[in-house]
Structure 1
């Protein structure tokens, strides 16, 4: 989970200054706050997550301790491919996460026939990622969703309106699932080249090659 810090620092001469940090991983923020506390001049520190929730140092340390044995620091790369001639689609997702101090990569693809457009395939690929997160036991955590579909990323983040009924249904389905799992999403658009791992999984699904793996990196 990325957070930023709001700090009130008091100098040796009693002058107070308030400043904000850039976003950083919570482990780094805790380390900085604890280091500043040692000086005896840290008057106040508040941690603010991507959902604008505030945390005290004690609360953040307790949260970090509690999630170490569960998947966390999660990024989901997704991509959907649609073959207009055959009306068939391939879905691919790659999940990077940490657990017990180790790094893992989970890959999954799927072949589907009930989809009509490429944008639907992209939504379905993201939903496949959600299903894999559910299988991992992920709940009530921030998750970053990364894809090359401007439509999906911008519609789900609220940057673009959704006028097509079919895509609206997909967006509702995705958001309902996230709400059920307690997931706080963050979205990032990347190029197709940067998303080649998920893209390759989608292509393999269209070719009839099923992939399901979970390895420690």
Structure 2
């Protein structure tokens, strides 16, 4: 779905401090299609690391190091130009837009055949014919599927996952893990996952950094 997704995400000597105390230090390369899992308890700096990479780190934190995506210096770019997609605990669908409207929002402005791309995306995740649905009428699992496809349609070059399965019921979690990781691998996207759930890390089938 994303021809540009063939670059590694490199975190070089990344260090994040709060009030003079180092929360974490990460030195890692995430190849295309691989998921690097960052595990640790609350307060260990997992989500703060994602905020640093994505470009919205709170000013209370002090970060050092380099982040590259292919040959691009990510940190030199504003957040909206970094080419990094995010999935959070909540799907964060726009309530005033239909399912199709949410997916069209993810598409680049220059995209052609938007209606066809939306239809194909929905079919890909078992939601064919859901274009006109109000997001509020969808189940939690269906909302998560729409959020995933909106992310992929935006053609990111890398993806950050912030506890994306934690609010799903147990029956849905494994299904969504399989879907999300399968889609990201197929798209060749380097991915950073932060979680405290070992089952997430096992499903990602990639290297793990434990901050515990």
Normalised by the length of structure 2, the TM-score is: 0.35
Q: Which has the higher contact order (CA 8 A, sep 6+)?
A: 2
Which structure has the larger Rg over C-alpha atoms?
1
User: So what's the TM-score if we normalise by structure 1?
Assistant: 0.34
